[in-house]
Every structure is written in structure tokens, then in C-alpha cells.
Structure 1
Amino acid sequence: MTPAAVVIVAVCTIGVSTLVWGLAAICRLLAEGRQQHALLSPSMYYRRDEVAVLIAAHNEELVIADAVAAACRLVPARNVFVVSDGSSDATVERARTEGATAWDLTPNRGKAGAIRAGLERFGIPSRFPLLLLLDADSRPRPDYLQTALPLFTDDGVVAVAGCATTAADAPTTRMGRFLTAYRERTYVCTQYLHKFGQAARAADVVAIVPGFASLYRTDVLDRIDIDAPGLSIEDFNMTFEVHAKRLGRIAFHPECAIAETQDPAVFRDYTAQVRRWSLGFWQTVRRHGVRPGLFSATVGVFALETVVSSVVLTAILPVLLVTTAALVTAPLLSGEAGQVSAWVSAAFPVGPIALGFFVVDAVMTAFACAISRVRPRAWMLLFPLMRVWDAVQCLRALGAALGRPSDGRWRSPDRRAIRPARESVA
């Protein structure tokens, strides 16, 4: 049982999909060789002034000005549009002060509804060939378009998935720093060990074009059911629609289209966000069902793996507590009670299970630190506890996805006032 326990826990910790797509990412790197400099050349087809930026916001007065300012460093201010989705604060005023065209949409419709309304209100599909969907707490880096637009030189590409990194403005609390560091690890592992391989030309199975900062060709938007009813978030569904309707390829590269996002610094907000993201995934899987093709097969395998891994990770701490108690009490008990304790401690050995969980997780942390060039910290050894919490929220979201539909309305996490965005490089 000991080797099996180590393998099961280790596989559930790192994930089969991570191994498969991580290998695909390595193959892609080898195939592309040293041609990455080509990503920095101007696009043959699109210019900066042909890109519209649309921001759907709900009570984002603390961060909206910075997001608009960052957008205006990429495109002319006349190309930046904000839909304030039933905000009760100064979101509209601050967006207009920074030069954006802002509209106060009431009553609120949720993010997907606000995006759809903004596209129609401002006539974006008929005026611009490309659309950058931007969250109010996101800040595209100055080279966002410089690295993203060349990916559209492939005529088959209809969307470029943005690459997320947590904002450099560190939270002031220990919990905030812990949560944002864990989220950054999630970004690195997901983008380098999943999406980079999934975006290979031979695969094209990227599961999400994140709505925080991603580009779409506007000529496909009318064929995407952006505000499909019953969903808590829109970006999973929009991505699934691209695949289901065979609209084109989704491009992604971890060195292109990078944007900073302000991740939750409060545990309550972190939990709500993770549950909302998980709910959106399960709702979208339920809506689209099983379809023929590699993408659907990939999603199906990932969904099954996610359920199994979440069950194992949710049970791991109780199992470790029980087996530790059995290991300690077995020599002290006699008769049948002692035999049961000895059997439990032998069947579920504490050391190998902990090894398969904590050591594998530490390897993931070391990988993320190497990519991000961040020095490992002792408190990062607590990241496995966050994996367990994420698994609990995933299972809760799965149960909720089987219940009543969502109305799409939202409540933003508590925001932090942030420093002005960095100046653009020449």
C-alpha cells in the first residue's frame, strides 16, 4: 500500500494534465527553437489604433483610473471604453477623468451582460478589428500589444489569451502577501505547465481566454454567446464557444500579452473568487456537454481528474490526523483496538503520504520561484494547505453548478488603492 499511497497522492497533487501538457510545452519549446525574437516584430495586419479596449466595472473607483491610464498607454484614449455596471461609487467619473468614454449601465446585468451592452452601445465590432477585454483591476504592461499583436499574423488565430501576473503593489498584511504569492504560483504553473502546451498548433485546446486582459478579433464576437444565461462568469463560456463553433485558434505564450492583476488580499475574498471561478467552469462544462473532438476530450479528462484530485486532497488532512493518532496509540492499546490502530497506521502510512503531498507541492513552488525569480520563503511550505482549501471550494462549486443557475451579477473583492501605472518604455 505504501508505494501506491505515495503515487496516488503525488499524482493528485501535481495532476496528470500538468504532466501531459508540461511535456507538450517542452516539445513546443524545442520545436520553436530560438525564434522568440520574431514575437517582438510588429504585426503585419493590425496597428495599435485598431484595438478597442472595453472595461466592464462594478464599484471599482479605487482601481479604474489606473486601468484606464494603463490602457491609454497602449491605444489612443478615444479607443478606451468603460461600462459601469450599476456602480454606486465614482467609477464613471474617475474613468472619464482619465480620458475613457464611460457609460453608466443601470440596472446592472453582470459582467457578461455589461460586455454585450458595451459592444452594442459603442459599436465596437463595426469600428475596430480587435478588442481587448480588460478587468478594472488589471494593468497591461507597456509591451502588451507589442508582443500580442504579432500572434494575429496567423490568419487562423481569433483570440490571444492574456498572461496573468499578480500586481507588483504588495499588500500590507501578512495574509495578503501569502495569498498573492500563492496566486502567483498558480499563475506560473498553470500558464507554463498547461496553457503553453495546450496552445501548440497541433493541440489548440486552451480551456480559457481569461477576461482579465485578452484580445479577440471582433469579427467572431457576433457568433459567441457572450452573455449566455445561467453562468457566473463569461470567459470559460466564450472560450468553449470558440472551440465548439470552430471559429479559429487561440494563441498563448507566457512571454506575450502580459498584464498585472490585483489579486485578493483578504481570505474571504480569495475564497469567494476561487469558488466563483470554479463555479463558472462547472457551469460551462454542464452547458456545453460532451462534443466530438480533442478539446472536449481534454476538458472531460481534466474535469474527471479535478474531481478525483479534489476528493483526495480534501481527505488528505483528516487521513493524516487519523493515521498519526493510530500510529501514536497503537503501542498503547491492547486487544482489538490495538490491532485496528496498527492496521490503520500500516494501511495509510503517515510518512509516505506526507512525502507525496508536501514534497511534490514544494517542487511546484521551487519551479514557480525559478520562473518568477523570487527567493523561496519558509512560509511557502504552507501552500499545500491552500491546495486543500481550493479543493474544498471546487467540490462546493460542483455541487452548486448542479443546482440553480447564476444570474451573473457580481461583487468585486475589496480593492487596494494602487500606485500610478509605470510609464511606457520608448
Structure 2
Amino acid sequence: MIVLSIVLVLGISTIFWSVAGLFRLASEQSWRAQVWSNRIRGWISLLWGGGTPAPQRQRARHRSQGVRIYPSNVAVLIAAHNEALVIKETILAASALVPRRNIHIVSDMSTDDTAAIARAAGVKVLELEPNRGKAGALAAGIAHFNLCKRFKVVMLLDADTRPTPDYLETGLPLFADPTVVAVAGRAKSIMSPPSPTAIGRFLVAYRERLYIVVQLLLKYGQAARGANVVSIVPGFASMYRTSALAEIEVLAPGLVIEDFNMTFEIHAKKLGRIAFHPSAAVAYTQDPDNLKDYVKQVRRWILGFWQTVRRHGLQFGRFWFVLGLYIVELVASCIFFVLLVPAFLLSSIAAVEVWIFGNRSEVFVFLSGVLRPQDVLIGVFLPDFLLTILAAVSMRSPRLLLMAPLFPLMRILDAIICLQVLPRAYSAISSGVWVSPVRRIQRQSQEMGVAGSPAARVG
């Protein structure tokens, strides 16, 4: 039981792709060592007059892989619905990366000053009515501004996202590989200003832990050149090569969110590779800091995943095989977490009957050993605690460890939501119309290093 619990808590996919990520990391480190070796040999060759230095030959090979893309070739597209509180800062952040004429805002039937603020900032604005939802707004913006013909890359940005100043500097080189058609952004939670409530700070910390686990232990390995099985290019801050974006059906009827579907479209139509690296295309996003918004967002995400699976089904190919295994694992893990508390209580009651009241019937003896306290400690809390240690080290935040005992409760909540919305994905059709969550006024800090902060603004 302990081994099964550990596997379900950590996940077979997490374990497998973590190993794949380690191999990828070793390969990248070996490549860097080779580059430095070539540079040293080149410098020696140059000093001794031995012809073209090795570094120049290395750069020539790199250039031959693909055409370099500059920030002027990148369009930023932001779909917004009642985002007057944050849209100005988002535009400032985007204008630190590309010229303002490259920034396009689609105000999806906003009833506040979203469109007016965007126009005053000097960017292109499209107003829609009625409310079409994010996917509809993005599709309308791509068509209206003719982005696929005017630019080489489109960067999709949420209205509350803050890309780092080096977002394009680190992200665009991934397109040097001509087979790469999308770059998945690295998500981090905005921690400043902190939530005014303890539950809010806890929710944001849990979400940041999720980002770290999924991106470092799963996505990094899944994006390896020989794998290419990334299941989501997050819509909050990612980039698409326009030649591929033109082939993607952004507005798919009946789906509550668009990013899962756009990713599945890449795999289904065999458009190319999805690139991801933890140090590239980093952006900060504002996560819910109250339980109501958290549940609402998780429900949308999970419903969107199941709806996308329903739309595309399971096809032949490496991605679809990995997806099928993940679905089996996801359902099994959710069932485990949903039954965890009832099973533990039932086992504890049976143990009391056996050891205190002396009831030695076979049923009570069996139930008393189903899920003992040591099983929960070793099989659930310790593996989950290891994930928190990873996040605490990555965030350089030891305080995260103090919240670790409560994180399994959030996983139980996530599991309940996942199983609850599964039938809805096959019985209901979503309009995609959105209602923006409550936003916190964002205070940028130099420590975060987010584009748009006073130290990072340009122009």
C-alpha cells in the first residue's frame, strides 16, 4: 500500500519525465562543454594563425538551422475583458519587449475603461460585441489585425501577465530550430503584493509549487527533442510561429478554454515541435488568492482539458500514447485522493475496534490495516513533502515548508474538482464566455525583475 501511495502521489509520469529531464540536462551540459571547448580551440587557432576559429564555424552552423527572429517580427496579442485595473501595466510590460505598434488589444465587450486605457497607451485596439470569450477574441484579433501575414511570431499574453525583460531574448532563440512552431512560456506566480489574507498567501504558494513541479519535473523532459509530447502551451504568455498559427483552429466550438485545444491541434496536424526551457520565456501571472476564484479557475482548466480530450479523442502517435497513459494515471490518482480521508477514517475506526475494544473479527482486522497512520505519513505526506522541498529550493523560500502539511488537502480538493467536471465535459457544451477574476493591484519590484517595473521600462 505504501509503494502504491507513493506512486500515486508522485505520479508515474512525473517520475518518468523527471528522468528524461535529467538526461536532457546532461545532454545540454555536454553541449555547452563542447561549445566552450570549441571556443578555446578557436582562440588558440586564432593566436597561431590557423584559419577560421572554431567558434565562428559553430555560429555558422547555428545560423544555418533557421532564420533569426527579432522582436520587431513579433506581435503581441492580448484578449481582455474588464481588465482596466491591470491592462496599463501589461501594456508597459509588453512595450519593454516590442515596439508599441506591435501590441494589439482585443477588448471583448468590456464594460469598464479597458479599451480607452489601451488606446491612450498608443496600441492597436479592437472592440468586440457581444462577448465572445477568450478564444473568440484571439481568433478575431488574429484575423482583424492580419497577424499571420504581417509577423513571424505571435506572442499571446493574458491581461494580468508580466513577462520578464529577457522574455524574448531567451525565448526567440528557440525558434532557431525550424521545426519549432511554439514556445511554451515558463509560468511563475506574482508574489508582490502578497495577498492580505493567510488563505490567499497559501493558495498562491500552492499554485507556485504546482508550476515548479509541472514545469521542472514534467514539461522539461516532455519537450526534449526526441519526445515532443508537451500537452499544453499555456495561453498566459507563449509564442507561436505564424506559419503554424494559421493552421490552428483557435476558436473551437464548445470549449471553455483555448490553450489545451491549440496545443492538441499542433500534435493532431503534425505542425512541428513545442519548445520549452525553464530559463526561457519566463513570465509572471496573477493567481487567485481566494478559494472561490481558485475553485472557479481550476474547474475551468480541468473542464477545458477534458473537453479537448473529447474533441480530439485519442489518435495514433507518441503524443496520444503518452496522453492516454496520463489520463489513466490522472483518474487513478484523483480517486485515490478522494478516497484518502474516508479510507483513513474507516481504517482508524477499525483499528480502535481491534486494539481497544478487542473486536478480532476478520473484517475489522482487515480494515484496520488498509490505511494505517504510518502508511499515510510515508506514502502520502513524505512524497508530497519532497515536492515542496523542490519548490522551496527553487523559490529560495524556506517558509514554504511551513505550509507543506496542508498541501495534500489542496490535492484532495483538486481531485474532487477533476472527477466532478469529468461528466460535464461529455454532457455539456461551453460558450467560452468569460468573467474575469478579481484582480489585485500589482506592485512591481526590482527583485522580481518583471518587464514594466520602474527599473525595466523602456520607451
One-letter amino acid of the counterpart of residue 352, structure 1: D
Q: Distance in 2 between matches of 1:158 and 1:377?
A: 38
Is 1:159–1:250's contact at 8 Å kept on the other side of the alignment?
Answer: yes
The one-character-per-residue Cα deviations of 1:96-120 (angstroms, maximum 9, x if unpaired) are 2333222221101110000000011
Q: Does residue 1:9 correspond to 2:9, yes or no?
A: no
Q: Does residue 1:306 correspond to 2:302, yes or no?
A: no
The one-character-per-residue Cα deviations of 1:384-403 (angstroms, maximum 9, x if unpaired) are 10011111111112121111
Q: Which residue of 1 aligns with 2:120?
A: 97
Matches for 1:14-163 after TM superposition, within 5 Å = 14-33=10-29, 35=31, 45-163=68-186
Which 5+ residue runs of structure 2 have no aligned equivalent? 36-61, 445-451
Q: Identity rate of aligned residues, in percent?
A: 47
Q: Does residue 1:344 correspond to 2:367, yes or no?
A: yes
Report the CA distance between 1:335 and its aligned residue: 5.3
Which 5+ residue runs of structure 1 have no aligned equivalent? none
Report the CA distance between 1:92 and its aligned residue: 1.0
Q: Distance in 2 between matches of 1:150 and 1:220?
A: 17
Is 1:323–1:350's contact at 8 Å kept on the other side of the alignment?
Answer: no
Q: 1:313–1:36: structure 2 CA closer, same or farther, 3 Å change rule?
A: farther
One-letter amino acid of the counterpart of residue 8, structure 1: L
Tell me the secondary structure at the aligned position of residue 415 of structure 1: coil
Report the CA distance between 1:223 and its aligned residue: 1.1
Matches for 1:17-416 after TM superposition, within 5 Å = 17-33=13-29, 35=31, 45-169=68-192, 170-333=194-357, 340-375=363-398, 376-416=400-440
Q: Distance in 2 between matches of 1:314 and 1:36?
A: 45
Q: Which residue of 2 aligns with 1:424?
A: 456
Q: Distance in 1 between matches of 2:260 and 2:299?
A: 14
* TM-score for the superposition, normalised by structure 2: 0.88
* TM-score for the superposition, normalised by structure 1: 0.94
Report the CA distance between 1:36 and its aligned residue: 6.2
One-letter amino acid of the counterpart of residue 194, structure 1: L
The one-character-per-residue Cα deviations of 1:119-146 (angstroms, maximum 9, x if unpaired) are 1111111111110000001010000000
Is 1:330–1:339's contact at 8 Å kept on the other side of the alignment?
Answer: no
Bigger radius of gyration, 1 or 2?
2
One-letter amino acid of the counterpart of residue 27, structure 1: F
Report the CA distance between 1:226 and its aligned residue: 0.5
RMSD (Å), alpha carbons: 1.9
Report the CA distance between 1:325 and its aligned residue: 2.2
Q: 1:260–1:290: structure 2 CA closer, same or farther, 3 Å change rule?
A: same
The one-character-per-residue Cα deviations of 1:10-39 (angstroms, maximum 9, x if unpaired) are 11111000001000000000111165699x
One-letter amino acid of the counterpart of residue 416, structure 2: V
Aligned residues: 419
Is 1:224–1:242's contact at 8 Å kept on the other side of the alignment?
Answer: yes
One-letter amino acid of the counterpart of residue 156, structure 1: T
Q: Distance in 2 between matches of 1:330 and 1:61?
A: 62
Tell me the secondary structure at the aligned position of residue 56 of structure 1: strand
Report the CA distance between 1:311 and its aligned residue: 0.4
One-letter amino acid of the counterpart of residue 27, structure 2: A
Q: Distance in 2 between matches of 1:195 and 1:223?
A: 24
Q: Distance in 2 between matches of 1:197 and 1:266?
A: 32
Q: Distance in 2 between matches of 1:155 and 1:346?
A: 57
